Amino acid sequence: MIKIAIYGKGGIGKSTTVSNLSAALAEKGLKVIQIGCDPKADSTFGLHGKTSVKTVLELVRDRKDGFELEDMVTIGYKGVVCVEAGGPTPGVGCAGRGIMAALEKLEQKGAYEKYDPDVVFYDVLGDVVCGGFSMPMRGGHADKVFIVTSGENMAIHAAANIAVAIDNFKSRGYASLGGLILNRRNVKNEEEKVQELADDVNTSIVGTLSRSDTVQEAEEKGMTVIEAFPDSPMADEYRKLAETILKICEV
C-alpha cells in the first residue's frame, strides 16, 4: 500500500488533480482510496458526481461511534473509495479535527483491511500546516508528500511553507517531500519561478499540468477529465503524472 499526501493552497486545483490521479490509477486496475481533508468536503465530488456526502465529522457529531464503515464511504469512478473528513460548525472548533477523526475512524472501522487499497491519497489544504492539517504527513499515514503550486506568488508562498514543515518534521519519521506539481496558470515566468522554489527546497518539479478548458468542462459535468474526456490530451497529462508519482513512491 502506497500512501500519498497532496498539499497545496486553497483554489490551486489540488482536489481536481488528486481526483484525476485517483481515476487514472483506478482505470489501470489499482484499488484506490481518496480521503478529502479539506473542511469544504468537496475533494471527491468529481469521482462520484454527488454534490454532498455525509462527512466523518458529521457522523461523529450526530452518532458518536454509532455508525458503520459504509456510512463514511462513497464509491466513485472505477471503484475509487471516497471519504470526506469534513469540518466543524462554522465559527466553532478546529478545522483540523475532521482530519484526525477521519483517519482514526477509518482505522478503527477496518477500512484498509476491507478495501485493501494499492494507493491511498490524502487531499490536504495547505494554507496552514499545523495540528490536524499535518496529520496526513505524520508517521503511519503518508509515505510521500507532493505539493501542487502555480507560479502565482501566494501559491508559491504556501508551497514554501509546506516544504519547510516537511523538512522540520523529517527527524520524527514523517513523510518526505516527493516533489512539486506545477498546475499552470500561465502567469509570467511561471516555470522559472516554480523551478526556483524547487531549487530552494531541494526538490524537483515532477509534473506539469496545462491550463485547459477541458478541466472546467469536466467539472461542469461533475466528472474527472479521465472519465469525461478519456481521449483528451489533458487526460494523458494526468495519466503521465500518476505514473511518475507511482514510480517515485515505489523507489
Say if residue 116's pLDDT is above 70.
yes
Say if residue 85's pLDDT is above 60.
yes
**How high is the pLDDT of residue 131?**
62
Residue 1 contacts by C-beta under 8 Å, 6 or more apart in sequence?
A: 112, 117, 118, 119, 120
Say if residue 207's pLDDT is above 70.
yes
* pLDDT tens digit sequence for 157-199: 999 999 998 888 877 878 999 999 999 999 999 999 999 999 9
**How high is the pLDDT of residue 250?**
87
Active site positions, annotated: 9, 14, 40, 127
Say if residue 62's pLDDT is above 60.
yes
Say if residue 90's pLDDT is above 60.
no
**How high is the pLDDT of residue 93?**
58
Say if residue 133's pLDDT is above 90.
no
The domain segmentation of the chain, as residue ranges, is 2-250
Q: What number does CATH give the domain 2-250? A: 3.40.50.300
**How high is the pLDDT of residue 98?**
73
Residue 22 contacts by C-beta under 8 Å, 6 or more apart in sequence?
A: 32, 34, 47, 76, 77, 80, 119, 121, 224
Task: Select the more confidently predicted residue: 174 or 94.
Answer: 174
Task: Report the mean per-residue pLDDT for the chain.
Answer: 91
**Among the listed residues 24, 11, 114, 16, the one whose alpha carbon sits nearest the alpha carbon of residue 77:** 24
Say if residue 75's pLDDT is above 60.
yes
* pLDDT tens digit sequence for 11-48: 999 999 999 999 999 999 999 999 998 888 899 999 99
Q: What is the pTM of this model?
A: 0.94
Q: Which three cell numbers, joined as nine digits, stand for 225?
A: 477529465
Region 187-215 average pLDDT:
97
Return the percentage of the chain with pLDDT > 70, whole number: 92
**How high is the pLDDT of residue 132?**
63
- Pairwise CA distance, residues 148 & 249, whole Å: 16
**How high is the pLDDT of residue 95?**
62
Region 226-238 average pLDDT:
98
Residue 118 contacts by C-beta under 8 Å, 6 or more apart in sequence?
A: 1, 2, 25, 30, 31, 32
Region 55-84 average pLDDT:
93
Q: Which three cell numbers, joined as nine digits, stand for 60?
A: 461523529
CB-hemisphere CA count at 13 Å for 111? 29
Task: Select the more confidently predicted residue: 49 or 91.
Answer: 49
pLDDT classification of 92: cutoffs 50, 70, 90: low
